[in-house]
Amino acid sequence: MSIYHEDEQAIKTTKLGGFLSSWFKPVLPWLGASVFLGLFFFYPLARILWLGLNPAALNTIDLASLLLAIRSLLFTFYQAALSTILTLVIGLPAAILFARYNFRGKSFLRVLTAIPFMLPTVVVAAGFNALLGPRGWINLGLMDLYHLQSAPISIVGTLGIILLAHVFYNTTIVIRLVGNAISHLDPRLEQAASTLGADPPRVLNRVTLPLLRPSILAATVLVFIFDFTSFGVILLLGGPGFSTLEVEIYKQAMQIFNLPLAGLLSLIQLLCTLAFSILYSRIVIRTAATSAPRAAATNLRSARTGRQKLFLSGMVVLLLGLFLLPLVSLPLASVTRLAADRGERGPVQYGITTDYYSELFINRSDSIFFVPPFEAVGNSLGYAGLTVVLSLVLGFPVASALAHPSHLGRFLDPLLMLPLGASAVTLGLGFIITFNRPPLAFVTSPLLVPLAHTLIALPFVIRSLQPALASIPDRLRQAAASLGASSYRVWFAVDWPIVARATLSAAVFAFTISLGEFGASSLVVRPEYPTLPIAIARFLSQPGGMNYGQAMAMATVLMVVCGIGILLIERLRLPGAGEF
Amino acid sequence: MLELIDIHKSYQGQPLLRGVSGTVSAGETVCLLGPSGSGKSTLLRIIAGLETPERGQVCWDGEDLAGVPVHRRGFGLMFQDYALFPHLSVAENVAFGLKMQNLAGAEINLRVANILEMVNLTGFGGRRVTDLSGGEQQRVALARAMAPNPRLLMFDEPLGALDRNLREQLMEELRRILRESEVPAIYVTHDQEEAFTLAGRVLLLHEGVIVRNGTPEQVWSDPGSVWAAQFLDAGNVVAGIVISTNPPFKIETPVGVFDLDCGVVPVPARDGVVPVLAPDGVGTAPRGGGHAHSPGAKVDLLISRRGVLLGGEGQVSGVVVDVIFRQEGFKVTLENGLNFYLPNAPRLGEKINLIIPASGIKCLS
Amino acid sequence: MKQILLVVFLLTAIFFSACSPQSTITLTIMTHDSFAASQSVITAFEQANNVKLIFLKSGDAGAALNKAILSKDAPLADVFYGVDNTFLSRALDAGIYEPYASPLLANIPVEFKLDPHNQALPVDYGDICINYDKAFFASHNLPIPASLEDLLKPEYKTLLVVENPATSSPGLGFLLATIKHFGPDGYLAYWRSLRANGLVVVDGWETAYYTNFSGSSGHGLQPLVVSYSSSPAAEVIYASSPLTTSPTASILGPDTCFRQVEFVGILKGTRHLNLAQKFVDFMLNRQFQQDIPLQMFVYPVNLDASLPQEFIQYAQTARQPATLDPAVIAANRDKWIADWTATVLH
C-alpha cells in the first residue's frame, strides 16, 4: 500500500516538476545575471538617461550639439576601427605564439602582455612619456646619436599615440580569447589540410582562421568596444585635439552639466555597443562550428624550422619592445632620484634611491586619507577577489546557457555586452540618483566597487567560458550520464576538465579588470578604502618629485601584485584540469 | 613506388620505431598491422611528412622526401576520426584538395560530384559534416582524401569507431574503390580482419620493427613467431622440446608428442654433427626455405584449430571443458587449454581424442 | 544551481550588511578628490562632538557638485565642501544649500564672501598662476615673462603649456584670468596670438605638470605651465631629495593669476543640522584653517590662521589676482569655453 502511495507521490512531483521546468529551466541560468544587471546597470542607467532625455529636456538640444555629437561619433568610430585592426595585427600572431610554442620566458612574456590591461592611464601615460616623450629615452638616444637639436619623434598628442596605447592596452584580450581557442584547436585539421596540398598560408587562411572565427570575432568586438569607449588614453595621451563620445560625455555631464546632451551621447554610445553586440552574436551563431575539444598541452611545440624560429624570435622582440620598454620605465622611475640641483639641462643627474618606497609607509602629513601600500594592495586584492567570484558565479550559468543556442539566449546575449558600452560617468550619476534612498541606499557601500567591476568583467568572463562550454559535444555528457553519473557529477567529470582552462582565463580577466579599473572606481570608491590605481592618482594630483616618485613606486607595486596574481591564477592546479 | 629505409623514431625518450624498412609498389594495398602503441600511426605520419624520422629515409621513386613539405608530397591521409573541416560543407570538404590545385570551378564541381557518387554520397554535398553519421563522415573523409588524385593513399584506422555491419560494408567498398583506382595505399589497423580483407600484403609491426611481411594467407598460416601467432590468434601455441632430429622431427610438449615437418631434406647425422642450414646444398640442406633443429632444443609449435579430426588414437586427448557455437563450427576447449573447431559439438566432460594433420602443425622459431 | 543561488544570496547579504547604519551618529561630508585633512584635526572634532565623520569623495570639483545637485532630493551627505567661485552660481541656482551665518565669518575678509545669503561659506583660496622652471630661464639667459602680453613674445615661442578649460579647473581659471584682463571681446584675439606663438594645450593638470613641464619629474619641453602659486612650495616639501630653494616659481604679474575660492555649505535635507553647523564652524576655525595649506596646498581664508614656514618661504600669493563675479562666470562659462575651443583647438 505504502509503496503505491509513494509511487503516486513521485509521479505527481515529476509532473509538477516537469511543468515548472518546462518554462523555468531555460530562464534559471539567466536569473542571477539578469537580476544583477537589471538592478545595478539597467535601472540606474534608465533613470539617468530619462533625466537627461525626457521630452522637456530634449528641447534644449540644438543643431550645434547635434553636430558635436556627430563629429565625436565619427572620430570615435575612426580611431576605434584603426586601433582594433592594429591590435589584431599584433594580437593574432602573439596568440599563435603563446598557444603553439614553448620557449624560455614564456610565462614572463605572457604576464607582461597582460599587465597594461590593469594599469591606470596616468601611469601608462608616464611610461610612454618616459619612452617616447620629447625627453624620452628614444628621442634622447636619437638626438645623441645623430647630434640633433630637437627631438625627432613627436608622437605625444597625436593619433599615433592613441593607437599605440590602445594596442598596448588591448592586445591581451586577443591573446587570451584567441589563444585559448587556438590551444583547443584540433591540430589534425590543419594536418589534413596540408596533406590535401595546402601550403602553410593557405592552411592559415582556409582552415585555422575560419575555425578561430568565433573567438577572433569575440576578441574583435571586445577590443572595438574598449577602443570605442576609450577615455583616459584620449584625455591624457591624445590631448584636447581629440574627443571621443566618452570624453565628450564626461565634459558635458561633469563640466558643463548639460545632461540632455550627455544623455544623448550616452544613448548613441549604448546603441552602437548594442549594434556591435547583436552583429557579433549573429555572426557567431551562424559560423559556430563544434569540433572535438583537445587538451591544450598537446598542441605545444618548440620552434624547429628556420621559419618558425624567425617567427618566434621576431614576435618575442616585437612584444618586448611594445610591452617591456614602456613598462620598465615605471620601476626605473620609482628608484631614480633626480639630483637635487636640477640646474643645467643636457646631462641630467640621477641617483638611485629607495626613498619612494619607504615613504609609502609614512604618513608624513598626517592625512586622514593616508593609505599604507599593504592596505591599498589588500583593498585592491579584496575587490578583485570578490569580482572574480561574483563574475564567475553569475557568468557560468549564462555561458552554459549560451553554449546551447536558444531564442532566449539570442535575445539576451547582446544585452550582456552593454555594460562595456556604458560610460562610467553616466552610470556613476545613475548610481547617485538611484541608490541614494532606501531600500537601495547603498551608494556609500564599499561593495559598490566590486559590483561595478563585475559589470565590466562579466562580458569577458562569459566570452571566455562560452566557446569552451560550447565545444563540449553532448555525447560526452551522455556517455558520462550513461555511466551512472548524476548531473552534478557529469558536470564535474565532463564539463569541468574541459572548461577549467577557460575558467582560469576568465578569472584572470576579471582579476586584471578589477585591479586596474579607474573610471568607475573613482566615482564609487570610499576614500578610506582606495584601490591601488586611486592611490596612484592621488600622488599624481600634487606637485613634487616625491609625489611623482611615490606614484611610480605604487605603480610598480601594482604591476608586481598583478603579475604575481596572474601567475598564481595560471599556475593554479585546478582539480581535473589539464588531465583531459 | 614508396620505399622506407631504416626508419627510426622515438617518443619521449622511448624508441617507437627501430629500423622499419619496406616498399609499396604501384597499385598495391599494404596493411600495416599491429597492436595499439606499436608505432603504426607514427610511421604513417612520417611518410606523410607530418613528423620527421630521427634516422632513415622515406623515398618516392628513388627520390628522398626529407626536404619535401607535407603539402607537396601528394600523399592523401585519412585520419582516425576523419578530421573533417567542421566549418565546411560535405562538398567543400571534398573540394578542398582540388581547390589547392587551383583547378577551375566547373571542373572541381564535376569531380566532387563524381567522387561523391563513387562513395555513395550523391546529394550530400550541401550537408554540414557535423550532421552526418559516422559512416557518412567516413565516406566524406575517403572522398576528400581521394579527390586530389594522390599518388599514395594512407588510412589511419579509419573504421575503428564503426559498428560491425557498417564496417564490413565499408571495407568491401573501400576494397573496390582501391582496386578500381589503382592508387597504392597503406592501411594502418590493429584489426586483422580489416587487414586481411583489404591488403595485398600485410606488414606485421611489433615493438618498432616489422616482424612479418607477406600475403594475408602467408601471414595467417605461418605467423613466424609466438608473438605474431598470439596477436593474430592463429591457433594454439605450445612450447616443446625436440626429441628426434630425424625428419619429421618429433617434438614433445605437455599436451602430447607431435611430428613436425620443417621442410628439411633427410641427411643422416654423422658423428653427432648437428644438422645446420647449408645454403650451398651440402650437408643438411633445407628444402624450400626449410630449417633444422638440434635435439633438446626448445621449439614453439602452432597447432591449427581447424581441420582436426576426432579419432581413436589421436595425438591430442582431453576432457571437454567448454563448447561455444561459432560460424566456423563449435569451438571446443579442452582441460589442457587447447581449443579447436569441430563440426559437431561434444558433450561437456566427455574425453575426446583428436588427430591433427601434419599441415596443421607449424614451428614458430 | 542551488549552490550558486546560495552564493549569490550570501554575497547579497554581505553587501547589505556592510551598508547598515552604525550605532554612533555619523556626519557625511561630500567633497572632491583633492580634499585632505590631518588625522589629528579630524579626530579632535569627532571626539569633541561624539560623531563619526565620513567623507565621500565624488570625483573632481565639477563631478562632485553635479552629484550633489542630482541627489538633492535625497542628499547623500550633510555637508558639501569644494564648490569654487567658477561653479558657485550653479550650486546656488540649484538650491542645494541651507543658509548658515557662522559666527566665524567675522574673521574672513569680505572679498571672499561671494554669497551674501551665506549658503556657501568661503574656506580657502588659491591662485592659479603660471609657474616657471627657474633653471631653464637661468641657463638660457631669458628674462622671466612678467605679464600676459609678454607671453606673446617670440622668445617664449612653444614654451607655455596650458590645460583645456573644458576638462581642467586650472585651465578654466587661466582662461578666466585672460577674460578679466582682455575683456570678453578681446580675450579670443589674445588666445589666437598665443596659439600662433606655439601654445601647447593638454587636457589635464597631471599631463601639463608631469609630462610637459620641464621643471617637474617628467622633464618635459615647456618651462612655463599653468599651475598654482603654491606649487613651488609643494616642490620643496615633496622634493625627492632635500632642497633649500624651489626649482620653480610663479609669475605674479597683473592678472596673470586667477583667484579661486572654495566654499562649504550645509546640504538641504540634512538630519543633523546642528552637527553640520558645528562642522562648518570647525572648518572655519583656526585649527582646521592652519591645517589647510600643507594638506591641500591652498591658503586659509581666516585671518587668524598663520601660514606654515614653507608657504612663507617658497609660495607667494598674487598681489593683483584676476577675479570675476560668479554670476557672470556662470552665465558665460559654457559660451566662453566653446568659443575658446573653436579658437584654440580647431
Q: Residue A292 and residue B130: Cβ atoms within 8 Å?
A: no
Tell whether B155 is within 8 A of chain A (Cβ). no
Q: What is the pLDDT of residue A10?
A: 46
Section A217-227 average pLDDT: 88
Tell whether A404 is within 8 A of chain C (Cβ). no
Q: Do A355 and A553 touch, CB atoms closer than 8 A?
A: no
Is A513 strand, coil or helix?
helix
Longest Cα–Cα distance in chain C: 77
What letter would DSSP give residue A471? T
Cell of residue C127, nine digits: 591662485
**Which of A130-134, A229-233, A420-424 is predicted most confidently?**
A229-233
For residue B132, give every residue at least 6 positions away whose Cβ sits within 8 Å of its Cβ, in sequence order, or none. Answer: B90, B124, B140
Angle at the Cα of A99 from the Cα atoms of A96 and A101, rounded to 5 degrees: 85
- Cα-Cα end-to-end distance for chain C: 57
Angle at the Cα of B49 from the Cα atoms of B45 and B51, rounded to 5 degrees: 60
Percent of chain A predicted with pLDDT > 90: 20
B111 versus B255: the higher-pLDDT residue is: B111
Angle at the Cα of A461 from the Cα atoms of A457 and A463, rounded to 5 degrees: 120
Q: How far is CA C174 from CA C89, C162, C211, in A?
A: 19, 8, 19
Q: Residue A194 and residue B145: Cβ atoms within 8 Å?
A: no
Compute the nearest-CA separation of B76 from chain A (Å). Answer: 6
Q: How far is CA A457 from CA A8, A251, A507, in A?
A: 48, 26, 9
Q: How confident is the model at residue A23 (pLDDT cuts 50, 70, 90)?
A: low
b/e map C130-156, b = 16+ CB within 10 Å = bbbbbbbbeeeeeeebeebeebbeeeb
Q: How confident is the model at residue B290 (pLDDT cuts 50, 70, 90)?
A: low
| Per-residue model confidence as pLDDT tens digits over A548-575 | 888 888 888 888 888 888 787 777 655 4
Least reliable range by pLDDT among A71-75, A171-175, A519-523: A519-523
Q: What is the pLDDT of residue A443?
A: 74
For residue A568, give every residue at least 6 positions away whose Cβ sits within 8 Å of its Cβ, in sequence order, or none. Answer: none
Angle at the Cα of C128 from the Cα atoms of C125 and C129, rounded to 5 degrees: 135
Q: For residue A291, which residues of chain B lie inside 8 Å, CB to CB?
A: 86
Q: Do B290 and B351 touch, CB atoms closer than 8 A?
A: no
Q: What is the pLDDT of residue C29?
A: 94
Q: Which one of A202, A287, A292 has the shortest CB-CB distance to B87?
A: A287
pLDDT of residue B313 exceeding 60: yes
| Strand bridging mode B185-189 / B152-156 | parallel
CA nearest to A505, candidates A43, A12, A99, A68: A99
Percent of chain B predicted with pLDDT > 70: 90
Q: Residue A236 and residue C239: Cβ atoms within 8 Å?
A: no
d(Cα B246, Cα A354) in Å, to the nearest integer?
A: 98
Q: Residue A365 and residue C36: Cβ atoms within 8 Å?
A: yes
Neighbours of chain A (3+ CB pairs under 8 A): B, C
The residue of chain A with its CA nearest to that of C163 is A240
Q: Residue B100 and residue A197: Cβ atoms within 8 Å?
A: yes
Q: For residue A545, which residues of chain C lie inside 8 Å, CB to CB?
A: 216-217, 235, 238-241
Q: How confident is the model at residue B268 (pLDDT cuts 50, 70, 90)?
A: very low
Helices (H), A435-575: 448-470, 474-482, 487-490, 496-516, 519-524, 532-539, 545-571
b/e map A333-353, b = 16+ CB within 10 Å = bbbbbbebebeeeeeeeeeeb
d(Cα B288, Cα A197) in Å, to the nearest integer?
A: 47
Q: Do C315 and C230 touch, CB atoms closer than 8 A?
A: yes
Q: Residue A211 and residue B69: Cβ atoms within 8 Å?
A: no
Q: For residue C241, which residues of chain A lie inside 8 Å, CB to CB?
A: 337-340, 351, 353, 355, 545
Q: What is the pLDDT of residue B306?
A: 84
With cell 563440426, the residue in question is: B343
Best to test chain A binding among C80, C206, C290, C341 (most A CBs inside 10 Å) = C206
Q: What is the pLDDT of residue C206?
A: 86
Q: What is the pLDDT of residue A143?
A: 82
Helices (H), chain C: 2-18, 39-49, 61-70, 88-94, 134-139, 169-182, 187-196, 205-207, 231-237, 273-284, 286-296, 309-314, 326-340
Cell of residue A131, nine digits: 619612452
Compute the nearest-CA separation of C87 from chain A (Å). Answer: 9
Q: Is the peptide bond before B158 cis (omega within 30 degrees of 0)?
A: no
Compute the nearest-CA separation of A499 from chain C (Å). Answer: 17
Q: How confident is the model at residue B280 (pLDDT cuts 50, 70, 90)?
A: very low
List the beta strands (DSSP E) in chain B: 2-11, 14-24, 29-33, 55-60, 63-64, 75-78, 152-156, 185-189, 201-206, 209-214, 236-244, 249-253, 256-260, 298-303, 309-310, 316-326, 329-334, 339-342, 351-355, 361-363
Compute the nearest-CA separation of C40 from chain A (Å). Answer: 7
Q: Which one of B71, B74, B76 has the shortest CB-CB distance to A198?
A: B71
For residue B62, give every residue at least 6 positions away whose Cβ sits within 8 Å of its Cβ, in sequence order, or none. Answer: B3
Q: Is the peptide bond before B248 cis (omega within 30 degrees of 0)?
A: yes
Quote the mean pLDDT of chain B: 84
CA nearest to A542, candidates C48, B148, B232, C295: C295
Region at B203 (left for phi over 0; alpha for psi -120 to 50; beta for the rest) = beta
Tell whether B70 is within 8 A of chain A (Cβ). yes
Q: What is the pLDDT of residue B279?
A: 37
Q: Do A493 and A480 touch, CB atoms closer than 8 A?
A: yes
Q: What is the pLDDT of residue B264?
A: 57
Q: Do chains B and A touch (3 or more CB pairs under 8 A)?
A: yes
Neighbours of chain B (3+ CB pairs under 8 A): A
Q: Which long-range contacts (CB under 8 A, 24 or more apart) does A445-448 make?
A: A445/C15, A445/C18, A445/C19, A446/A525, A446/A526, A446/A529, A446/C18, A447/A386, A447/C14, A447/C15, A447/C18, A447/C19, A448/A524, A448/A525
CA nearest to C228, candidates A367, A551, A543, A548: A543
Least reliable range by pLDDT among A51-60, A107-116, A234-243, A307-316: A51-60
| Per-residue model confidence as pLDDT tens digits over A335-352 | 877 643 444 444 445 677
- Single-letter residue type at C2: K
Neighbours of chain C (3+ CB pairs under 8 A): A
CA nearest to C52, candidates C341, C208, C242, C279: C279
pLDDT of residue A18 exceeding 60: no
Q: Which of residues 288-327 of A touch C (CB under 8 A)?
A: none
- Single-letter residue type at B357: P
Is C117 strand, coil or helix?
coil
Q: How confident is the model at residue A366 (pLDDT cuts 50, 70, 90)?
A: confident
Q: Which one of A207, A213, A290 has the shortest CB-CB distance to B85?
A: A207
| Per-residue model confidence as pLDDT tens digits over B118-142 | 888 889 999 988 888 888 888 899 8
Q: For residue C207, which residues of chain A lie inside 8 Å, CB to CB?
A: 125, 236, 239
d(Cα C200, Cα A160) in Å, to the nearest integer?
A: 18
Q: For residue C247, which residues of chain A lie inside 8 Å, CB to CB?
A: 342
0.90 surpassed by complex ipTM: no
CB neighbours of residue B4 within 10 Å: 23
Helices (H), A321-406: 325-334, 355-360, 373-403
Q: What is the pLDDT of residue A22?
A: 63
Q: How confident is the model at residue A504 (pLDDT cuts 50, 70, 90)?
A: confident
b/e map C189-203, b = 16+ CB within 10 Å = ebbeebeebebbbbb
Q: Do C78 and C270 touch, CB atoms closer than 8 A?
A: yes
Q: Residue A196 and residue B148: Cβ atoms within 8 Å?
A: yes
A305 versus B271: the higher-pLDDT residue is: A305
Q: Do chains A and C touch (3 or more CB pairs under 8 A)?
A: yes
Section A529-551 average pLDDT: 85
A348 versus A40: the higher-pLDDT residue is: A40
C101 versus A125: the higher-pLDDT residue is: C101
Q: Residue A195 and residue B81: Cβ atoms within 8 Å?
A: no
CA nearest to B32, candidates B167, B174, B200, B222: B200
Q: Which one of C33, C55, C235 has the shortest CB-CB distance to A544?
A: C235
Section A116-142 average pLDDT: 80
Q: Do A470 and A285 touch, CB atoms closer than 8 A?
A: no
Q: Which of residues 435-454 of A touch C (CB under 8 A)?
A: 436-437, 441-447, 451
With cell 605674479, the residue in question is: C252
**Would you say the C-alpha torsion B178, B180, B181, B184 has a positive or negative sign?**
positive
| Per-residue model confidence as pLDDT tens digits over B79-108 | 888 888 888 899 999 999 999 999 999 999
Section A300-329 average pLDDT: 87
Section B11-31 average pLDDT: 88
CA nearest to B239, candidates B189, B297, B315: B297
pLDDT of residue A60 exceeding 90: no
Q: What is the pLDDT of residue A228?
A: 92
For residue A43, give every residue at least 6 positions away whose Cβ sits within 8 Å of its Cβ, in sequence order, or none. Answer: A434
**Would you say the C-alpha torsion A115, A116, A119, A123 has a positive or negative sign?**
positive
Tell whether B100 is within 8 A of chain A (Cβ). yes
Q: Residue B85 and residue A196: Cβ atoms within 8 Å?
A: no
pLDDT of residue A440 exceeding 80: no
Tell whether B164 is within 8 A of chain A (Cβ). no
Low-confidence ranges of chain C (pLDDT < 70): 1-23
CB neighbours of residue C319 within 10 Å: 9
Tell whether B341 is within 8 A of chain A (Cβ). no
The residue of chain A with its CA nearest to that of B78 is A192
Half-sphere exposure of A478 (CA within 13 A, CB side): 3
Q: For residue C198, which residues of chain A lie inside 8 Å, CB to CB?
A: none
How many beta-carbon pairs below 8 A join chains A and B? 72
> Over the Cα atoms of chain A, what is R_g?
26
Q: Which of residues 323-342 of A touch B (CB under 8 A)?
A: none
d(Cα B362, Cα B260) in Å, to the nearest integer?
A: 7
Section A12-40 average pLDDT: 71
Q: What is the pLDDT of residue B285?
A: 37
Tell whether B66 is within 8 A of chain A (Cβ). no
d(Cα A232, Cα A557) in Å, to the nearest integer?
A: 21
Q: What is the DSSP string of A115-181?
A: GGGGS-HHHHHHHHHHHHSTTSHHHHHHHHHHT-SS-S---TTSHHHHHHHHHHHHHHHHHHHHHHH
**Would you say the C-alpha torsion C304, C307, C312, C317 has a positive or negative sign?**
negative
CA nearest to A39, candidates A399, A519, A454: A454
Compute the nearest-CA separation of C126 from chain A (Å). Answer: 14
pLDDT of residue B314 exceeding 80: no
Q: For residue A366, which residues of chain C lie inside 8 Å, CB to CB?
A: 38-40
Phi, psi for C269 (deg, rounded to 5) = 95, 5
CA nearest to A209, candidates B131, B45, B85: B85
pLDDT of residue A480 exceeding 60: yes
Cell of residue B167, nine digits: 564496417
d(Cα A330, Cα A348) in Å, to the nearest integer?
A: 18
Q: What is the pLDDT of residue C128?
A: 95
Q: Residue C217 and residue A545: Cβ atoms within 8 Å?
A: yes
| Strand bridging mode B339-342 / B329-334 | antiparallel
